[in-house]
Amino acid sequence: MTGERFQQDGARGGLIVGGDSLVGSALAMHCRELGIPIETTSRRPRGDGIFLDLFNPDFAPLDRANYGFAVVCAAVTDMRACEDDPVATRRINVDNTIELMARLTGEATHVVFLSSSQVFDGETPAPDESAATDPRNEYGAQKLAVERAIASRQLPAAILRVTKILADRPVGVFKAWHDTLVAGQPIHAATNMALSPVMVNDVAQAAVRLAVGRHRGIWHLSARDEVSYFEAACLMAELRGLPASLVQGQPLIESQVRAIFRQHHATLSSEKIARSLDMPLRNARDVLDNVFTSFAQPAAAP
């Protein structure tokens, strides 16, 4: 329906900044499925689409752009990298991102900016879009700086704050857990770190609806609830037929993951986007079910 509405309105095509990122790739696929013409950027010189490195950007290829909307996914999302090198990462995540959006909106392009739940301190359960922000780390501070620039410059943009985004297959810590359990070795999962996961395809759908509808303001997307990483690991063992006795819970300490990266509460109130854009809100367990059951074959207990 979104694609049909886009075509009926005679709108121009879209631009995905960071088209080879996790969210950018899902966005590109979703737009193509809807029949929405899009172009993408990449910081890889030999990548698909328009070359754009936000560390040292050449905006010339985007001059006099004729895009109906742009979704800004490109960023340094590694929170430790932002903490270790705030100057270089701020150049990408803040200064040049704001310059990019100013150029695009100057050409009547509507922008969707992908922000983060890290703009909150994680102490308040399920904050809504009007809740006071208080980032505890540099990454969250950088996202908030862009949000404030959008507001102060009155840019035609929507801000989409999201929680932990999961691919449609296990990667990172989830894959490491699985491989370790299959090998008959114990895993240790945090009891004092929560996640409220969202599927990447849901993020892509939300971004497209905000873009095509030319919505403005702040919007939240997360699971309805949250689980600890220990609870997520127990669920993986249950779903994959792996020995639950090998899943050991322990609280993280500062030397493992700094407290500024750990949120006590991970869920965002997402009733606004569910009500206004008819977005489905999923339970954390259902999201994890979807990821964990995508392993190729069930594993037998050793």
3-state SS of 182-206 is: HCCCCEEEECCCEECCEEHHHHHHH
Residue 296 forms part of a structural domain = no
Overall domain count for the chain? 1
Give the orientation angle of helix 22-34 with respect to helix 200-212, to 10 degrees: 60
Residue 255 forms part of a structural domain = no
Looking at the chain, how many residues does it have?
Answer: 302
Residue 287 forms part of a structural domain = no
Q: What is the pLDDT of residue 5?
A: 52
pLDDT at 11 over 70: no
Tell me which residue range forms the domain holding 102: 2-167+197-223
- Percent of the chain beyond pLDDT 70? 93
**Partner residues linked to 51 by β-bridges:** 42
Name the pTM for this structure.
0.92
Q: What is the CATH number of the domain that holds 95?
A: 3.40.50.720
Q: What is the pLDDT of residue 228?
A: 96
Dihedral class, residue 214 (left if φ above 0, else alpha if ψ from -120 to 50, else beta) = left
CA distance 176 to 252: 17
Residue 67 forms part of a structural domain = yes
Rounded to whole angstroms, what are the CA distances from 125 to 117, 194, 251, 268, 269? 12, 12, 20, 8, 9
Q: Give tens-digit pLDDT for 140-163.
A: 999 999 999 999 999 999 999 999
pLDDT at 176 over 50: yes
Nearest to 218 by CA among 135, 274, 160, 155: 160
Most confident of 48-52, 114-118, 253-257: 114-118
Residue 292 forms part of a structural domain = no
Q: Give tens-digit pLDDT for 274-301.
A: 999 999 999 999 999 989 887 754 444 4
Residue 34's Cα: distance from chain center in Å?
21
Dihedral class, residue 298 (left if φ above 0, else alpha if ψ from -120 to 50, else beta) = beta
CA distance 17 to 136: 27
Residue 109 forms part of a structural domain = yes
What value does the mean pLDDT take over residues 176-181?
A: 93
Residue 300 forms part of a structural domain = no
Residue 39 forms part of a structural domain = yes
Q: Give tens-digit pLDDT for 53-90.
A: 999 999 999 887 789 999 999 999 999 999 999 999 99
Q: Are strands 194-195 and 227-228 parallel, antiparallel or unpaired?
A: antiparallel
Q: What is the pLDDT of residue 298?
A: 45
